[in-house]
Amino acid sequence: MSNVFTINNLNLHYGDFQALKDISLDVERNKVTALIGPSGCGKSTFLRCLNRMNDLIDDCQIDGEVLYHDNNVYDKNYDVISLRTKVGMVFQKPNPFPMTIFDNIAYGPRCQGIKDKTELTKIVETSLKKAALWEEVKNRLKENAMSLSGGQQQRLCIARAIAMEPEVILMDEPTSALDPIATLKIEQLINDLKENYAIVIVTHSMQQAARISDNTAFFHMGELIEYNTTDIIFTTPANGKTEDYITGRFG
Amino acid sequence: MKKNKNWIQNIMRSFHINSKKEIVDFFVRLIFMISTIISASFIVIIVAFIAREGIKPFVTDNDGLGAVNLFKFLSGRVWLTGTTFQSNLYSVGFIIINTIYVALLSLLIAMPIGVLTALFIAKIAPKKLSSIMRTVIELLAAIPSIVYGLFGAGVILPFVYNFAKTLGIQSPGGNSVLATVIVLSLMILPTITALSEVAIRSVGKDIEHGSLALGATKTQTHFKVILTSAKSGIFSSAILGIGRALGEATAVSLVAGNSQNGPSFGIFQTTSTLTSTMLQGLKETIGIDYDIRFSVGIVLMIVILITNMILNYVKKKVGNVNVK
């Protein structure tokens, strides 16, 4: 068993507000790790620490360690660009670029300097196949990605992340803007993807966490209350707060 | 009395008015409609007036000089005013080309500078600086054209004159294509910058973050995603910019040199645009020399209309991406 991420004593402040309090947790390879908890508990903030997307927020201060393969990503000299090529991200709202489906997938590789057309074509095809979108779009790669349905757009965003051949995929409530059928497709996809990637997913739906994840972390008020395998969290949680949350007594 | 009420109700019904509230609604809509009719009818009146005056040189014999030949008017290379009132040999062919030439050159200079400035203000500059810059740009856009013209005459003309001199070229007081293009670029730059900045700023943060999360650098994100997402709005800024460049008269006539023949492509040659030709000596002339300026006005309107149509077509072709 090996960990891709090891987080030690992570604290995060937005100005005076402490959004994360002394978080320590490991993210395992080829596992789906779910982050659950009520709104504002810090789970999305935590997720964004893993690929340093919090850098984009003014007034955000971080201390503690986020070790990605034993290197602290918050080291001054750490190459954040290469981190983000290895740690992909899928957002809450599908955010395809306003360009063709092909260009959307090819965007990441092109930014890394891949120009060869046949290589790009190959990357686009394999990525779309892995994201279970190929059959639906193979004849319309030149169409604008905005013409896809919401669920297709989200799978396109997953394909876009896969095109970078990342090691980890971070997902921030990827199904909250989708209908139940599209949600089901994404969940099946996540299940397939964990063969090759470590997946960290933030979700509001406890059923979803129970269905798709191997490990579950429960956050509350910026603290990590409990982290264990999903089975244990949902059957025999150690903490009273976790039990209250998963049984729907608050949150 | 009862009969009278029925009569009112019938009218109300015919306008689909069934209650008191709908009466108010009806009158408010009426006010909107009247305002629209007033503003729209002015366009019709102006166009009709210009057209009526502008057609005169072609259909009357112009007090014995003979009618102007429309084909020669549109294709010729000399604007004859030296022997004013003695001839009907007016032509705007070269002036049309001059006008489009200087407008396109100005756009070519102002567009890249304007868009890059807009990108800087919207995405790169620190918040305080960008709000200062935004105010400055808005102020620049509000400066009347005569002020740009005076600046052109007082600063740009000597500069162009001296610049030409160092190259060994004799420039007539600096009046030239170059001076015109510089003044026009300065004038349309704020318009392009301000509108492009709005377009760039309205590109969703989610798209920007999506790009950064894929390991794209900030520069890659700015050029490959943000500019392409904003291109529809940026194109609109170009359309307004070139509209202003084509329609600018005062500033241009102070620095163009108002050449009587052409077209002038060399940057140190004097030039003339449709607007400067219309403006030149308008108040001191009569007869055909007066009427022909209205014909130029028609040509200018058509040129602007066609340019806008072409740019709008291109905009649709390349920019139909802002589907949300």
For residue A102, what is the enclosing H or E element?
Answer: helix A101-111
Whether residue B110 is predicted with pLDDT greater than 80 in this model: the reply is yes
pLDDT of B302 reads: 92
d(CA B321, CA A144): 7
Per residue in B208-226, pLDDT tens? 999 999 999 999 999 999 9
Residue B122 has which token pair?
């919207």
Count of beta carbons in the 10 Å neighbourhood of residue B25: 12
A251 within domain boundaries: no
Whether residue B320 is predicted with pLDDT greater than 70 in this model: the reply is no
Residues from chain A that touch B214, judged by Cβ atoms under 8 A, are: 84-85, 88, 107-108, 111, 160-161, 164
Interface test with B, best of A84, A92, A110, A147 (most B CBs within 10 A): A84
Work out how many domains chain A is built from and give that number: 1
Inter-chain contact A51–B213, Cβ cutoff 8 Å?
Answer: yes
Residues from chain A that touch B215, judged by Cβ atoms under 8 A, are: 81-85, 108, 111-112, 164
pLDDT of B324 reads: 36
Interface test with A, best of B130, B205, B214, B217 (most A CBs within 10 A): B214
Burial A127-160 (b: 16+ CB within 10 A, else e): bbebbbbbeebeeebeebbbebeebbbbbbbbbb
At position B209, the amino acid (one-letter code) is H
A42 within domain boundaries: yes
Residues from chain B that touch A82, judged by Cβ atoms under 8 A, are: 215
- Using only C-alpha atoms, chain B has a radius of gyration, in whole angstroms, of 26
Give this prediction's pTM.
Answer: 0.82
Nearest CA in chain B to A83: B215
Q: Cα(first)–Cα(last) distance of chain B, in Å?
A: 58
Residue A147 has which token pair?
């013409």
Mean pLDDT by 10 residues, chain A (251 residues): 85 90 90 90 90 87 89 89 92 91 93 92 92 90 91 92 92 88 88 90 90 92 91 88 82 51
Contacts with B, A 183-222, CB within 8 Å: none
d(CA B18, CA B284): 61
Determine contact: A93 vs chain B, CB below 8 A.
yes
Residue B194 C-alpha, separation from nearest chain A C-alpha, in angstroms? 23
Whether residue B147 is predicted with pLDDT greater than 60 in this model: the reply is yes
A70 within domain boundaries: yes
Residues from chain A that touch B324, judged by Cβ atoms under 8 A, are: 146
pLDDT of B148 reads: 92
Mean pLDDT lowest for which of A12-26, B5-19, B28-42, B208-222?
B5-19
Nearest CA in chain B to A80: B215
Interface test with B, best of A56, A68, A104 (most B CBs within 10 A): A56
- pLDDT band at residue B86 using 50, 70 and 90 as cut-offs: low
Task: State whether residue A90 is helix, strand or coil.
Answer: strand
Residue A31 C-alpha, separation from nearest chain B C-alpha, in angstroms? 21
- Residue recorded with tokens 């009247």: B34
Inter-chain contact A88–B323, Cβ cutoff 8 Å?
Answer: no
Inter-chain contact B214–A161, Cβ cutoff 8 Å?
Answer: yes
pLDDT of B322 reads: 43
Q: Are A84 and B212 in contact (CB under 8 A)?
A: yes
DSSP per-residue codes, B109-167: HHHHHHHHHHHIIIIIS-HHHHHHHHHHHHHHHHS-HHHHHHHIIIIIHHHHHHHHHHT
pLDDT of B82 reads: 60
- DSSP secondary-structure letter at B226? I
Determine contact: A78 vs chain B, CB below 8 A.
no
Detail the DSSP E strand segments found in A117-213. 168-172, 198-202
Residues from chain B that touch A161, judged by Cβ atoms under 8 A, are: 213-214
Please tell me which of the candidates B213, B228, B323 has its beta carbon nearest to residue A146. B323
Task: State whether residue A217 is helix, strand or coil.
Answer: strand
Q: Which residue has the higher pLDDT, B166 or B9?
A: B166
Looking at mean pLDDT, say which of A64-73, B106-115, B287-296 comes out highest.
Answer: B106-115
ipTM comes to: 0.89
Nearest CA in chain B to A98: B321
- The backbone torsions φ and ψ at residue A3, rounded to the nearest 5 degrees and listed phi first, read -100, 140
d(CA B195, CA B201): 10
A206 within domain boundaries: yes
Q: What would the mean pLDDT of B224-251 be, rounded to a whole number? A: 90
Task: State whether residue A242 is helix, strand or coil.
Answer: helix
Please tell me which of the candidates A84, A98, A144 has its beta carbon nearest to residue B214. A84
Inter-chain contact B224–A107, Cβ cutoff 8 Å?
Answer: yes
Residues from chain B that touch A108, judged by Cβ atoms under 8 A, are: 214-216
Inter-chain contact A161–B225, Cβ cutoff 8 Å?
Answer: no
- Residue recorded with tokens 């015919």: B14
d(CA B4, CA B79): 69
Q: Are A248 and A207 in contact (CB under 8 A)?
A: no
Indicate the class that CATH gives domain B93-319. Answer: mainly alpha
Q: Are B170 and B257 in contact (CB under 8 A)?
A: no
At position B226, the amino acid (one-letter code) is I
Whether residue B4 is predicted with pLDDT greater than 70 in this model: the reply is no
Asked if the peptide bond before residue B263 counts as cis, ω within 30 degrees of 0, the response is yes
Residues of B with CB under 8 A from a CB of A: 204, 206-207, 209-217, 220, 224-225, 228-229, 320-324
Give me the count of residues in chain B. 324
pLDDT of B323 reads: 40
Question: Tell me, what CATH number does A55's domain have?
Answer: 3.40.50.300
Residue B105 has which token pair?
């050159």
Whether residue B117 is predicted with pLDDT greater than 70 in this model: the reply is yes
Domain residues for A106? 3-246
Per residue in B254-287, pLDDT tens? 988 888 887 888 888 888 899 988 888 777 777 8
Q: How far is CA A104 from the centre of its chain?
A: 18
Interface test with B, best of A81, A114, A167 (most B CBs within 10 A): A81
- pLDDT band at residue B79 using 50, 70 and 90 as cut-offs: confident
CA distances from B235 to A96, B228, B247 (A): 22, 11, 18
Please tell me which of the candidates A81, A97, A147 has its beta carbon nearest to residue B210. A97
Helix ranges (DSSP H) in chain B: 2-14, 20-59, 70-75, 93-119, 127-142, 145-151, 157-166, 177-201, 205-213, 218-220, 227-229, 231-247, 250-255, 274-279, 287-319
Residues from chain B that touch A112, judged by Cβ atoms under 8 A, are: 215
Please tell me which of the candidates A98, A108, A146 has its beta carbon nearest to residue B215. A108
